[in-house]
Amino acid sequence: MSVLCFWCVSLLLSPSLSCLQCFFDGREELLADLCFGHILSEYNIRNVDACFKMLDRIFNNNERVIEAGRVGKGHDSQLKDILDAEILPIVEEFHEQMNTDIVYEQRLQTAADNFIAAASKLPRVSGCFPPCGFQIAGAVYDCITCQYDSCEFPLDCPVEEIKVMENSRIRMRCDVPFGLPDDVEVIWRFAEEVNTQQMDQFVEVTVGVDRLYSIPSVSLHHQGTYQCEIFSGEHSIVRLYFYVTVTPQVVTGQTELQEIFDLSLLPGGQLLSAPGASPHSFHLVLPLLLLLTACLTVSLLLLFLSHGVLHCSSIQKQGRHAEETDGGEDIG
């Protein structure tokens, strides 16, 4: 009994547990019965403490046992059933019986191997997807903590930057690369003008199940940070952020016109295609270039016509002056 008390106290002071300790918590007397008749063959004496050390080595500190116990959500009860099916028959067989450490070693090692084989067939999870979000489906049972451990990623995802031109359309999706429960609720919030993740700067915009947020025609007052938060019940699963920068339409138009004018002044009227420019963008530029060329042509024609009118007027004045001079000479 003193050895059992010592083992129980050591479990309380231990920084971590294990599969055997997790599933026999509150049933330590069964393990005491198991180790009651443990005989050290070298000295032919009963030593219960050596039996508990053997259990630690074969089950509690065995990486293969711990790894086999890393099952998906809801399957920890099956781990207990598998372990009971291997340990309890040995407890019953060894009850108040003397057996050497060699027999204990063989029977317990076989039980551990059977546990590993059976537990490894239980459903696993797909794992965790970085860098953010409380991934419920990614939690696995951990024999070291005797509980399901989450992915331990931060709830808030990094801010995604989006640049958009004024009056254009924008869509933001609250999507994550891991599975979500069926009963999710989505809240969209907005912080105008600022790039932030501070909750007190956001104003709630919509509440529902729609993970798509769309703005048909973006204005300057739409610039800022958008946040979507996904809930399941009262628990927050993930928060995504989108920082939207809006470029004014007037500035964009002036820039494009200046570029077209610069291109029209190239030698030979040749156009230089910008790096990465698509054929579609060239087709958009070409009508504007033709319009600019037509305007320049009309201006030149008007200039030439004005010059011609002035020239004709000057010739007519010179003719009248000559006639007046000839008439004066005749009178004299």
> What residue ranges do the domains of the chain occupy?
2-119, 156-250
**Long-range own/partner contacts, residues 207-210 (CB < 8 A, 24 or more apart):** 209/184, 209/185, 210/186
Task: State the residue for tokens 């372990």.
Answer: 83
201/181 Cα distance (integer angstroms): 28
- Give SS3 for 152: coil
How far apart CA 17 and CA 37 sit, in angstroms, is 25
Mean pLDDT of 305-316: 71
Residue 253 has pLDDT above 80, yes or no: no
Tokens standing for 191? 């912080």
Of 238, 244, 126, nearest to 176 by C-alpha is 238
pLDDT higher than threshold 60 for residue 275: no
- May I ask the CATH class of domain 156-250? mainly beta
pLDDT digits (tens, 9 = 90+) for 153-169: 999 999 999 999 999 99
> Does the pLDDT at position 318 exceed 60?
yes
Give 299 or 275, the one with higher predicted confidence.
299
- The pTM of this model reads 0.54
Q: Over the chain, what is the mean pLDDT?
A: 82
Question: Helix %, strand %, coil % for the chain, to 5?
Answer: 50, 20, 30
Q: Answer for the pair 269, 254: CB distance below 8 angstroms, yes or no.
A: no
CB-based burial label for 272 (10 Å; 0-12, 13-18, 19+): exposed
